[in-house]
């Protein structure tokens, strides 16, 4: 009979993100680099931005500055090489769409290595969305892995 009062059970560790501080940002706050506003507990795009907003640097801008990626997407194969412009459009359109709802989801860098494209993102949602958008458009083989837990993703697509 299991005893629910046991003290030696495993406790799931909190996934620490060094780019979110323990204290909340002042409400409202505005990023002096990208203009995203922290208001009512969330980051959002606001037009016009609040006049009384305190200046800060948002977690996404800090991640971009430090090149601290939350996801990586590798796209490769002969098909990718022959349709590079269309695939780049899918990547950019996916970023634009995701940023409307998740302002901290951004592309850090896109490397065109000739036979493959490597995209690094600030957080895992955008990397996964890019992989799924390319796969929806062109099929191929899509592999999504969360090797370091749920706050990092590796996406690989080939066709």
Please write the tens of the pLDDT for every residue from 17-75. Answer: 666 655 578 889 999 999 999 999 899 999 898 889 999 999 999 999 999 999 999 99
Q: What is the pTM of this model?
A: 0.85
Give SS3 for 82: helix
Q: What is the mean pLDDT of residues 127-133?
A: 97
> Is the pLDDT higher at 98 or at 26?
98
Separation CA 112–CA 32 (nearest Å): 30
Separation CA 65–CA 52 (nearest Å): 26
Instruction: Judge contact between 38 and 55, C-beta under 8 A.
Output: no
Tokens read off for 74: 């590798």
Per-residue model confidence as pLDDT tens digits over 138-152: 999 999 998 865 688
> Is the pLDDT higher at 118 or at 40?
118
pLDDT at 25: 83
| Of the listed ranges 47-51, 54-58, 85-89, 92-96, the one predicted with least confidence | 47-51
pLDDT at 112 over 90: yes
pLDDT at 78: 94
pLDDT at 135 over 60: yes
Instruction: Judge contact between 77 and 84, C-beta under 8 A.
Output: no
> Which among 148, 93, 102, 147 is positioned nearest to 122, based on CA atoms?
102
Instruction: Read off the pLDDT band of 117 (50, 70, 90).
Output: very high
Q: What is the mean pLDDT of residues 94-108?
A: 95
DSSP secondary-structure letter at 120?
E
| Cα angle 14, 19, 25; round to 5 | 100
Instruction: Read off the pLDDT band of 10 (50, 70, 90).
Output: low
| Residue 67: Cβ within 10 Å count | 9
């Amino acid at each position: 009979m299991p005893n629910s009062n046991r003290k030696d059970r495993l406790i799931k560790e909190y996934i620490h993100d060094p780019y979110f501080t323990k204290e909340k940002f002042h409400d409202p706050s505005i990023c002096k680099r990208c203009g995203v506003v922290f208001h009512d507990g969330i980051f959002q795009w606001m037009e016009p931005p609040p006049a009384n907003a305190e200046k800060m640097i948002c977690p996404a801008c800090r991640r971009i500055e430090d090149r601290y990626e939350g996801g990586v997407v590798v796209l490769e194969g002969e098909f990718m090489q022959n349709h590079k412009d269309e695939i780049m459009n899918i990547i950019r359109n996916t970023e634009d769409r995701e940023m409307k709802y998740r302002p901290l989801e951004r592309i850090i860098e896109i490397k065109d290595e000739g036979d493959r494209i490597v995209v690094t993102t600030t957080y895992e949602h955008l990397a996964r969305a890019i992989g799924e958008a390319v796969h929806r458009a062109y099929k191929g083989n899509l592999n999504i892995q969360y090797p370091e837990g749920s706050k990092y993703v590796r996406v690989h697509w080939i066709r």
